[in-house]
Chain A
Amino acid sequence: MNQEGTSTTLHSAISRRARPPRASMLTCATAFGWRALLKIKYVPEQMFDVLVTPIMFTVMFTYLFGGALAGSTSDYLQFLLPGILAQTMIFTSLYTGVTLNTDIGKGVYDRFKSMPIWRPSPIVGAMLGDVLRYTIASTIVVLVGLLLGYRPETGIVGVILAFVLLNIFGFGLSWVFTTLGLILRTPGAVMTVSWIFLMPITFASNIYVDPATMPSVLQTIVAFNPVTHLVTALRGIMDGGLTPGQLALCLVTPITLTVIFGPLTMLLYRRKR
């Protein structure tokens, strides 16, 4: 292209025109969701954790503990699988905080912040991208489960509804990690602190064993653990027999976390740098 051609296209490209109407909240959030997907496209290795961990846990727990805990591996798998879905979602959700911590130091956030867009959309969009991670991880768990002999009583519909519930819970839980991601200095610190918090709530639950076998103090803790409520609801959905009370109890946590940690995340985001 010759010099004159370039300057004509330049002048026309930067000439003043009517600006389009302000983008809706949904458009902003989905645009950032698309950005999250592009990041996966360029660095597919980051999905390795999401792919391998669930397979490892499902196979390991089923064959290692199944015989001892439930008498037979097939009975244990039937009990364990909804729990492993919850565990996989919880372990995946901490990446939201780690990713945000890595991302926010970059200059592009200066641009996002100086644009007339729905302010939470960079974070909400990233969380929408995480929905894909949860869904992929959950699908793998169910496929491995089916291969090993797991049979959901409520069929495909039950599995889909379970995925929806997992995503709602994951969305609420993610706000805790975005908060940590904004408070702590390095991605490594986010990872460490998140694990300290995640390990007890994952293991002191009804994911792996029936709480009836535990000491009474621990039983009380397990009964109040939100992860227990999630797993109970998942079992209810996938095995049939979900009560409205179980569902409501399970939804209290993501709603509460969103109400508390959502605004806190936004406050920290606005203050950052």
Chain B
Amino acid sequence: MTHAIEVEGLIKHFGATQAVNGIDLQVPAGTVYGVLGPNGAGKTTTVRMLATLLPPDGGRARVLGHDIVTEADALRSRISLTGQFASIDEDLSGWENLLLLSRLLGFGRKGAKARAQELLQAFDLEEASHKQVKYYSGGMRRRLDIAASLVVTPDLIFLDEPTTGLDPRSRNQVWDIVRALVNDGTSVLLTTQYLEEADQLADRIAVIDHGKVIAEGTSKELKASVGSGVMHIHLADPAQREAAQQQLAQALSVPVHIEADPSALSVQFTDTTAATYALAELPRAGIALSHYSMGQPSLDEVFLALTGHPAEPETTQNEQEVQA
């Protein structure tokens, strides 16, 4: 299999802050690759280095076969970047933005107009095409940003947190665009702090934390590495929770977690049959269930198991990443 991106021991520090601390990645061509991590994990810095915007302090990376340092110019004509912070000109209209980029990318006057029009139509932005971008909604802005990255269809597109701050409808539109892109043969590297997003879109996922890859694989593999299943149990009577916890822990010999909801428990298990029997034993012992669910662990749970802290954005780390 050919690789769209090969990264070996990439390093970047800003003063004393080690933003990227030896990242290794192998991204197969023609797929969506998810880089998952909380704010400040080093996602944006990694993407900026791979997109030739930031020189690395150590390590090597080849993108589409080009070295990101020595062959940056050749690489630039084959990639596109949609940054976390809108990489479009807010003072100009959507139409003007696309026209400018089309001209810069070599379209003639007529060709540029046709291309801008085509993209506005395809990304459902025609009505707002002559409004200044600063008056766009978050979803419109994001769609224009992606359209701006596709004036010439790239071989690889970097999407840095493409749905951060979007409402569910706009988020689904962006997901549809990503699926359409990869369907047409473009490789996609997507960073996200939303576990669901990586789960939905990415063929493979790298989980990064504190500038390092801490786990890599398909979302199934990642989930399996933490345990094959998870059971969420809600009791009819919260007073019985302690009894239920003891009984389950004994039957399965694994820790049973207490949830924030006073009537809820959760268990990660490896043997599904044993888990089912243990669950069935609860009503027999007089512990009534309100409802329960069984399934694979969510990526949230995977993240907690891998990093030891939940995937909650932290304000201080957020600020660090912005400054970086």
CB-CB contacts below 8 Å: B79-136 with A: 79-81, 83, 85-92, 96, 100-101, 103-108, 111, 118-119, 121-124, 132
CA distance A42 to B77 in the complex (A): 31
A13 to chain B, nearest CB (A): 3
CB–CB B83/A21 < 8 A:
no
Closest to B111 in A: A20
Which of B83, B183, B184 is close to A111, meaning CB atoms less than 8 Å apart? Answer: B83
Closest to B92 in A: A38
CB–CB A13/B104 < 8 A:
no
| Binary per-residue interface labels of chain B (211-235) against chain A in the complex, 1 for a CB within 8 Å, 0 otherwise | 0000000000000000000000000
CA distance A16 to B153 in the complex (A): 6
Question: Does any Cβ of B come within 8 Å of A7's Cβ?
Answer: yes
Which of B48, B92, B121, B181 is close to A14, meaning CB atoms less than 8 Å apart? Answer: B181
Question: Does any Cβ of B come within 8 Å of A151's Cβ?
Answer: no
CB–CB A31/B104 < 8 A:
yes
| Binary per-residue interface labels of chain A (182-223) against chain B in the complex, 1 for a CB within 8 Å, 0 otherwise | 000000000000000000000000000000000000000000
CB–CB B124/A13 < 8 A:
no
Given known A38-B96, A42-B132, contact A107–B103 (CB-CB < 8 A): no
CB–CB B81/A110 < 8 A:
yes
CA distance A28 to B183 in the complex (A): 32
Q: Which residues of B contact A17 (CB under 8 A)?
A: 153
CB–CB B121/A20 < 8 A:
no
| Binary per-residue interface labels of chain B (167-189) against chain A in the complex, 1 for a CB within 8 Å, 0 otherwise | 00000000011001101111000
CB–CB A14/B152 < 8 A:
no
Q: Which residues of A contact B148 (CB under 8 A)?
A: 111
CB–CB B51/A106 < 8 A:
no
Q: A12-B118, A14-B150, A35-B89 are in contact. List 11 more A-B contacts (CB 8 A).
A: A1-B124, A6-B124, A16-B184, A20-B111, A23-B103, A27-B103, A107-B87, A107-B88, A111-B101, A115-B101, A273-B53
> Which 10 residue pairs are nearest across A and B when measured between Cβ atoms?
A13-B122, A20-B106, A116-B77, A111-B87, A107-B85, A31-B103, A9-B122, A107-B87, A23-B106, A116-B76
A-side residues, CB < 8 A to B, are 1, 6-7, 9-17, 19-23, 27-28, 31-32, 34-35, 38-39, 42-43, 106-108, 110-117, 121, 273
B-side residues, CB < 8 A to A, are 48, 51-54, 73, 76-77, 79-81, 83, 85-92, 96, 100-101, 103-108, 111, 118-119, 121-124, 132, 148-150, 152-153, 176-177, 180-181, 183-186
